[in-house]
Chain A
């Protein structure tokens, strides 16, 4: 059987009286594509923040590539191979495009501690940075300041930054947020072009887009998992339909 990439065991996150994530369990195997769907406020982003270590769970366990990371800081999870993107673009706004990916490519190497050595001598970093930009079709924007990119380009760079760190498990939080329909097509293509061995979990509010991209779906509502299954099973699920009808 394919090894487990990410395993959640009854993960619960409470903010004061609010239970944002309520006993969520899932097992994602290497190379699988998963989607987490659900209405606004369902707890999807909070789930990602918990997996990545920005929020510690109130209870439950998180296992990443066979290591228990429940209490580990975010940077250690990144070293293990976890990458994520943000629903609200979270780039280094004062750096250029290539510096954004270079800083990411450095993050899992010992070179990040080098202070008496020019960055331009780091051949591997430059190469990985370039590859990540090519993967998202931004190589031509190399030296552009981030502030001068269009929103669509920023969403692509958002993914390139995560890719440059060479993750094994990638969490994409609404990669198509705020994109026009033609830009969404581009983004869809970009996600399908991601390397097959990369494990991807993506959050997508738009059920139709999400279900085209993945083999496994979790639907959340009020912090709870209300359905898990294949895209077809999810489409046919009455509780999912009810939740989506209610929210539209």
Chain B
């Protein structure tokens, strides 16, 4: 096992331990913010799958997120359905809308893909206001209670932590799978992929639905966290925040969006009471990241890591620097140039490592 792998596993273990210990260490207020950050972290990861890995920049993911949340809310408030039914309807609604959106977007790419997803988000937002009998329009839907077992803030936190960890693990596998490789190929070689036997429209739609599934899960977790849903969840700003979290943390890394979500959710909840122009600050952070740190926080850290090793005179410093994405791993292009996330090895490699 390389040093970098050990460090990554160490960080993962530390993160899980800290996550489990947290309710014993801090206030309910902080736990509430952490839970929200985890939910948005999952949402941002679902965006990263499309935007970071496939170069398919979506700005309508909040549409899927909100439809799933409304599915739960409507079942709870209008149908008197139990929690199993609520979650089932939420999942079905989120997946159904993902399939519809996927079919609409699968033949586009680049800026056209972006425009289609923008329109999709707007449609959901518009309907959230218009379909008052279902959505309660601007009043939203209230009193969507959590199941008794997770009604306490800290039990719900543990549930969210477990689901986000599991979902993150699944997404990690997806990005290392054959579909994940094809997704990365879509970024700059769609015509060649077609010539190699890929029905690229189908692949795009498939990944879109997969990403939508995780946005759906995030939407369900979100509605139970707030016990309330309103059209604000489907706003363009929600999609934009998710994308911003991914870019700030580092696209194409999965863990980056999670880190980005923590930074932004914490800053928003801690600073927005003091800083009057919170959105301006957010915009400035966005511009600075794009201009000076394309790889986001993860990119900066993985760039600094070899230097840290070198300082301690470790020989492995130069050999295995693929701790995340290299700098420049943002939406423009050079992601993964040096990492080998698929870890394809030849038999020779395997023999020598045995």
Contacts and interface: CB of A to CB of B under 8 A. Distances in A.
Partners in one complex: yes
Interface of A: 52-54, 73-75, 78-79, 83-84, 86, 90-96, 98-99, 102-104, 106-108, 111-120, 122, 125-127, 129-130, 139, 142-143, 145, 147, 161, 165
B182 A74 contact: no
Interface string B25-52: 0000000000000000000000000000
Contacts of A130: 346-347
Interface in B192-250: 192-200, 203, 206, 210
Interface stretch (B97-105, B122-130, B173-181): B173-181
A75 B179 contact: no
B212 to A, nearest CB: 13
B189 A142 contact: no
B232 to A, nearest CB: 32
A84 B195 contact: yes
Contacts of A84: 195
A120 B344 contact: yes
Contacts of A103: 181-182, 185, 193, 196
A92 B176 contact: no
A104 B198 CA distance: 9
Contact of A165 (B180, B197, B343): B197
B184 interface: yes
B187 A106 contact: no
A78 B197 contact: yes
A115 B210 contact: yes
Contact of A78 (B195, B334, B342): B195
Contacts of B181: 95, 99, 102-103, 106, 119
Given A75-B199, A93-B188, A112-B197, A102 B177 contact: no
A118 B29 CA distance: 39
Contacts of A117: 173, 177-178
> Which of B184, B187, B191, B196 has the most A CB atoms < 10 Å from its CB?
B196
Given A75-B198, A112-B179, A90 B189 contact: yes
Interface of B: 170, 173-174, 176-182, 184-185, 187-189, 191-200, 203, 206, 210, 333-338, 340, 342-347
A18 B349 CA distance: 53
Given A74-B194, A84-B195, A94-B337, A115 B344 contact: no
A112 B340 contact: no
A112 B188 contact: no
A163 to B, nearest CB: 11
B184 A75 contact: no
Contacts of A91: 189, 192
Given A94-B337, A118-B173, A111 B178 contact: yes
Contacts of A95: 181, 184-185, 336
Nearest to A119: B342
> Which of A74, A79, A126, A127 has the most B CB atoms < 10 Å from its CB?
A74
B71 to A, nearest CB: 24
The 3 A-B pairs at the shortest CB distance, nearest first, are namely A107-B197, A107-B196, A115-B179
A192 B195 CA distance: 24
Nearest to A129: B344
A148 to B, nearest CB: 8
Contact of A73 (B176, B194, B342, B346): B194
A159 to B, nearest CB: 13
Contacts of B200: 75
A111 B200 CA distance: 15
A54 to B, nearest CB: 7
Contacts of A99: 181, 184, 340, 342, 344
A108 B206 CA distance: 18
A92 B177 contact: no
Contacts of A53: 194-195
Given A114-B178, A114-B179, A145-B337, A102 B197 contact: no
Contacts of A165: 196-197
Contact of A142 (B174, B178, B346): B346
Nearest to B183: A115
A104 B189 CA distance: 12
Contacts of B182: 103, 106, 112
Contacts of A118: 173, 176-177, 342-343
Contacts of B342: 99, 102, 118-120
Contacts of B337: 94, 145, 147
A212 B340 CA distance: 40
Nearest to B335: A94
Given A90-B189, A118-B173, A73 B199 contact: yes
A91 B184 CA distance: 12
Contact of A112 (B187, B198, B345, B346): B198
Nearest to A164: B196
Nearest to B174: A115
Contacts of A112: 178-179, 182, 197-198, 203
Nearest to A82: B195
B251 to A, nearest CB: 12
A108 B178 CA distance: 12
B2 to A, nearest CB: 14
A229 B9 CA distance: 64
Contacts of B197: 75, 78-79, 107-108, 112, 165
Contacts of B187: 94
> Which of B206, B344, B347 has the most A CB atoms < 10 Å from its CB?
B344
Nearest to B192: A90
